[in-house]
């Protein structure tokens, strides 16, 4: 047992040493690259930002239109599959329920991704350095903001329509999308198999976040080191990492305490 523990510690030590060596090598290569191409990279990044600022409006319209098209096609497909589920036999019903779940997942992915893209596009001009320089820029940015707000309103209503669409096919599903207790009520109305699927997916999401956030933290720190991007991104990512970890660990302790009575 002691030998096994020592083996574990040695492996961990080697992993940490390899990580430190790899980090040092990457840092040295990036430092050398910045010495040679730093001004060109900074100039190129500035040109890309200026180009994005010029096309903010058509980009926002295109992303919003794509999101609406994906959302409406998803709802339409879910309604059609839902009608088929109502009169299907057991074997066919399982296949249709899978198609129904897949269609809903596609719509939800499109909804979230397009919202994130809209925020990225808006952020390219979300600065007083850009807005306050010319009156024409202020008017242009105002139009972008209006489209942004309208699309986010659509995205919010779409999520409510999605829930109602699912509840029409599965009336046992409870919860009002406008209620703060919606997630809890929805989970309580799920059967054991559905809860197991939700728990497994939630744990996988936690593990993905636990691997991705530290990597993004390193990227944000390197960007600040070489491009002076500021520490806000590092602070926010660190805060998200802490929140995710505390939420998971506190939940584990709470569940264990509840089992003890």
The pLDDT, as a whole number, for residue 201 is 92
Give the tens place of pLDDT for each residue, 9-28. Answer: 777 788 778 767 776 777 67
- Average pLDDT of the chain to the nearest whole number: 86
Prediction pTM value:
0.82
Encoded tokens for 90: 């057991």
Phi and psi, residue 229, nearest 5°: -80, -5
Distance, in Å, from the CA atom of 258 to the CA atom of 3, rounded to the nearest integer, reads 37
Give the tens place of pLDDT for each residue, 100-155. Answer: 999 999 999 999 999 999 999 998 887 777 776 666 677 888 899 999 999 999 99
What is the mean pLDDT of the segment spanning 59-71?
Answer: 96
Of 163, 161, 158, 60, give the one whose Cα is nearest residue 116: 60
CB 223 within 8 Å of CB 250? no
Q: To 5 degrees, how large is the angle CA 221–CA 224–CA 226?
A: 110
CB 173 within 8 Å of CB 167? yes
What is the mean pLDDT of the segment spanning 45-60?
Answer: 83
What is the mean pLDDT of the segment spanning 54-67?
Answer: 94
The pLDDT, as a whole number, for residue 2 is 53
Distance, in Å, from the CA atom of 91 to the CA atom of 98, rounded to the nearest integer, reads 11
Between 128 and 99, whose confidence is greater? 99
CB 185 within 8 Å of CB 175? yes
Between 132 and 184, whose confidence is greater? 184
Neighbours of 104 (CB within 10 A): 19
Whether residue 58 has pLDDT greater than 60: yes
Whether residue 178 has pLDDT greater than 90: no
The pLDDT, as a whole number, for residue 234 is 92
The pLDDT, as a whole number, for residue 135 is 64
Q: Given the structure tokens 């599903």, which residue do they identify?
A: 173
Per cent of the chain over pLDDT 90 is 45
Q: Which long-range contacts (CB under 8 A, 24 or more apart) does 223-232 make?
A: 226/30, 226/31, 226/34, 226/38, 227/41, 227/42, 227/45
The pLDDT, as a whole number, for residue 217 is 93
Encoded tokens for 124: 């390219």
Between 38 and 146, whose confidence is greater? 146
DSSP state of 55: T
Whether residue 54 has pLDDT greater than 80: yes
Largest CA distance in the chain: 73
Whether residue 1 has pLDDT greater than 60: no
What is the mean pLDDT of the segment spanning 172-199?
Answer: 89
Whether residue 261 has pLDDT greater than 90: no
């Amino acid at each position: 047992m002691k030998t096994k523990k020592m083996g574990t510690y040695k492996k961990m030590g080697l992993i940490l040493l390899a990580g430190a060596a790899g980090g040092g090598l990457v840092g040295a290569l990036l430092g050398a690259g910045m010495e040679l191409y730093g001004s060109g990279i900074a100039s190129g990044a500035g040109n890309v930002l200026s180009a994005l600022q010029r096309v903010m409006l058509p980009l926002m319209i295109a992303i919003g239109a794509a999101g609406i098209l994906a959302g409406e096609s998803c709802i339409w497909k879910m309604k059609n599959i839902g009608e088929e589920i109502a009169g299907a036999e057991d074997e066919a019903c399982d296949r249709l329920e899978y198609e129904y779940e897949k269609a809903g997942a596609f719509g939800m992915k499109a909804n979230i991704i397009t919202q994130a893209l809209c925020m990225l596009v808006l952020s390219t001009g979300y600065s007083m350095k850009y807005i306050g320089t010319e009156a024409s820029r202020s008017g242009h940015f105002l139009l972008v903001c209006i489209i942004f707000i309208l699309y986010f309103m659509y995205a919010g209503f779409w999520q409510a329509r999605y829930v109602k669409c699912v509840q029409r096919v599965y009336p046992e599903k409870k919860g009002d999308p406008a209620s703060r207790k919606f997630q809890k009520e929805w989970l309580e109305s799920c059967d054991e198999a559905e809860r197991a699927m939700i728990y497994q997916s939630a744990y996988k999401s936690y593990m993905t976040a636990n691997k991705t956030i530290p990597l993004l933290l390193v990227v944000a720190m390197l960007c600040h080191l070489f491009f002076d991007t500021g520490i806000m991104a590092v602070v926010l990512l660190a805060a998200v990492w802490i929140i995710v970890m505390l939420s998971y660990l506190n939940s584990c302790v709470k569940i264990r305490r509840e089992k003890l009575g």
